[in-house]
Amino acid sequence: MDENPIEVGAVTVFRKTITETDMVLFSGITGDFAANHTDEEYMNSSVYGTRHVHGALVVGFMSTAAGRALEDARPHGLVPVSLGYDRIRFIKPVFPGQTLHVHHEFESYDPVGWRASAKVEARVDGDLVALATHIVKWVPSGESAQRLRTRP
């Protein structure tokens, strides 16, 4: 690969107000009906005073930002794939109706291993609510991928 598929320091931002519908659909899709997310009366007696958004849904929005960051990072013969998120931390709860701001910034690129890492931060009203490190690898596509396939 002659050129880096991404620029270190490149930033992608994604913003979304998390709705009741988002939470209900996420619960149904994943089967996570924990009271923290679905039982307002139960959570009224907690220190939070209300339900909070699933942490995995917040990570899903981090993935949305990552996907947008990689839209143009497809050099000929290579495809970016996420290897996952390291050191995910939920700092503060996110509540329905709050607007999540996700900031994805590439921090490093290894041209030999075709890998990159990015810092991902999620904020609400400027406060950090979640963070992670996103790991990406570029894998062969096209004819070179056909030769390397390990499954039919």
Q: Where are the domains of the chain?
A: 11-148
The per-residue pLDDT for 1 is 46
Confidence of residue 74 (pLDDT cuts 50, 70, 90): confident
Per-residue pLDDT of 94-146, as tens digits, reads 999 999 999 999 999 999 999 999 999 999 999 999 999 999 999 988 655 55
CATH architecture of 11-148: Roll (3.10)
The per-residue pLDDT for 122 is 98
Per-residue pLDDT of 14-47, as tens digits, reads 999 999 999 999 999 999 999 999 999 999 999 9
The per-residue pLDDT for 145 is 52
- How far lies 45's CA from each of 16, 32, 90, 140, in Å? 28, 21, 21, 53
Instruction: Write the DSSP symbol of residue 5.
Output: S
